[in-house]
Structure 1
Amino acid sequence: MRWFITGSSAGFGRALTETLLARGEAVVATARDPRALDDLVEAHPGAVLALPLDVTDPAQVRAAVDAALAAGPIDVVVNNAGHGLVGALEEVSDEQISELLAVNLLGALAVTRAVLPHMRARRRGHIVQMSSVGGVVANPGHALYSTSKFALEGASEALAGEVAPFGIRVTIVEPGPFRTEFLGRSLHRATPIDDYADGPAGALRKRFAEDNGAQPGDPARAVEAIIDAVRSPSAPLRLPLGRAAVDRIRAKLQQQLVDLDACAKVAIAVDR
């Protein structure tokens, strides 16, 4: 398999790239600054193609995909580039909202759309969308991040049905807390408003600062699970990772069923 990975310089992208190269797989590793991948290129000559890619730049997206395809087919795309944004909805700025959606949502969709004609022509391929437990359960204080991941999940769920007839599969990965740079250098922060400091949004901001580096999830094990899912003939549409993700998603779905049952009679009664 030949993999195309965005955001390969850090976090899950880096861990996935390193694991695949150690297994002898071919990887197109992309990053805003591909010099961050020089050590991998040197250690794995011929196995890794490092390309510059800012997923918010449509021209760079097209150029990176074209350069990758010029060197060979793409079997798997992993849309990993992204970052968090902590802050209540009122606290985040217009600029922060635009930037977050441009990377986490629109960038992933742009890369996906750029590679789909190639996969469709070959009648094969796998698209891995890196979402989050926050793409299923929205935390107060993380509203815009969840917005980006909820939207990515909705688009990807529909996409899975659209491309299944062409032999293309989609997997949405939903990690819980893992020991990556997500709560460190990758986390963007809104300017706090005092009224939110003692509420849920302020509590989340404090918890993120305390948890950085102490998360229970092991990125090395996570990427092994992602690789196994891609290789499985029965890959799931959604792949939660970590006990916290499983527990929180299960609780959310169970509560949704309770809420649905509570309003089902009224809901059904509005039909003619």
Structure 2
Amino acid sequence: MAPLVWLVTGTTSGIGRALIEQIVSRGDKVIASGRQVEERLGALKSDSLALLELDMTAGPAVMSDKVKEAWSIFGHIDILLNNAGMSAMRSAEESDESYIHKMFTVNLFGPMHLTQALLPFLRARTASGTAPPARIGFTSSSSAWTPLPFMSHYASSKAALSAYVESLHKEVSPLGITCVAFECGGFPTHLGQPRAEGDTAFASSPTSTGNGAYGKGMAALGGMFMSDPMAFMPGDLGKVARGMVDVLKREGVAEGRPWAVRVLFGSDAFDSVRQKCEEMLRLTGEWKDVSYGTDRDGYGHVTRRDYLEFVSILEGK
């Protein structure tokens, strides 16, 4: 089988750096992208590893040009992995527009724009019948299910991302393109650090310095994390990279399993999401009469089966 070609974003550190090592080790080719990528990864360039300067805050027009540039490097792309992301802690009240806009652009709008620009190329290649199925992965977060206080914008950007992936998968899977959101728990990355020196969007605020009306709440949350930092980062970068590549290549842990549009990585992700689902079932049960009570008179309270089929996330049900 010919080597697959990957385009991966956010490869200069953390999970992204582990991903390019994992991909190349399996004999595939990768276009590793990010900011200042030549400076940070130039020593890794080879016949199997190319570099692409790419900032996720660039708009749709730039993304379109970058996709054309990336496609020309190896002649095609088989797998897109939207891995780039950012995180920070700040109260919702004290978050300025620059902070909010950058958080959503990097975590949501950037991946949307890049995916949108690449989809026509993937569709055409898949429709040819001579190429392997195209796949698109997204690094999301278990925070999409379980938002923490003072991380409302990060959690909501990831919740929106995971919802986007679910819907996108339903649109493009009939065309031979499959999508997955990797909802990760705690891993030892630089995710919460400023994206660049002097980044004003992530400079100290009354909240981040522990002062102001929200200082007590921030201190309590920060104290929990600082009491034993590694207890809240159980993940291993090499293992999560291997798991992502397994899923997108249908190998290893993914072999023989139905396609999953949302995959949790990390015991903390699994435990917290399971708790959230159990709590949500309890909550919806307790309020069922209120939910049903807003139906029009005479409606039988039976949701159509074809609608439930469209909203299901299970494959081969």
State whether TM-score is above 0.5. Answer: yes
Relative distance call for 1:260 and 1:166 in structure 2 (3 A) is same
Distance 1:169 1:66 in 2: 21
In the alignment, structure 1 residue 242 sits paired with structure 2 residue 275: no
Distance 2:115 2:159 in 1: 17
When the two structures are superposed, what TM-score results if normalisation uses the length of structure 1? 0.92
Whether the 8 Å CA contact 2:78–2:135 is kept in 1: the answer is yes
Instruction: Name the structure 2 match of 1:92.
Output: 95
Relative distance call for 1:212 and 1:30 in structure 2 (3 A) is farther
Instruction: Name the structure 1 match of 2:300.
Output: none
Distance 2:148 2:248 in 1: 29
Distance 1:28 1:160 in 2: 23
Whether the 8 Å CA contact 2:87–2:193 is kept in 1: the answer is no
Between the aligned residues of both structures, percent identity stands at 32
CA deviation after TM superposition for structure 1 residue 269, in Å: 2.4
CA deviation after TM superposition for structure 1 residue 207, in Å: 4.1
Instruction: Name the structure 2 match of 1:40.
Output: 44
Distance 2:35 2:177 in 1: 27
Match of 1:202 among 189, 196, 219: 219
Instruction: Name the structure 2 match of 1:56.
Output: 57
Unaligned 5+ residue runs, structure 2?
127-132, 197-201, 251-255, 297-317
Instruction: Name the structure 1 match of 2:199.
Output: none
Distance 1:247 1:261 in 2: 21
In the alignment, structure 1 residue 271 sits paired with structure 2 residue 275: no
Q: How many residues align?
A: 268
CA deviation after TM superposition for structure 1 residue 131, in Å: 0.5
When the two structures are superposed, what TM-score results if normalisation uses the length of structure 2? 0.80
Distance 2:221 2:109 in 1: 26
Instruction: Name the structure 1 match of 2:150.
Output: 141
Distance 2:29 2:265 in 1: 25
Per-residue deviation, residues 101-125 of structure 1 (Å, max 9, x unmatched): 1111100101110111111112331
Greater CA drift, 161-170 or 174-183 = 174-183
CA deviation after TM superposition for structure 1 residue 213, in Å: 6.0
Per-residue deviation, residues 195-225 of structure 1 (Å, max 9, x unmatched): 21212x3323344556656622101000111
Instruction: Name the structure 1 match of 2:299.
Output: none
Relative distance call for 1:227 and 1:141 in structure 2 (3 A) is same
Structure number with larger C-alpha Rg: 2
Instruction: Name the structure 2 match of 1:229.
Output: 247
CA deviation after TM superposition for structure 1 residue 135, in Å: 1.3
Structure number having the greater helix percentage: 1
Relative distance call for 1:208 and 1:91 in structure 2 (3 A) is farther
Relative distance call for 1:255 and 1:270 in structure 2 (3 A) is same
Distance 2:283 2:204 in 1: 33
Relative distance call for 1:135 and 1:190 in structure 2 (3 A) is farther
Distance 2:187 2:273 in 1: 16
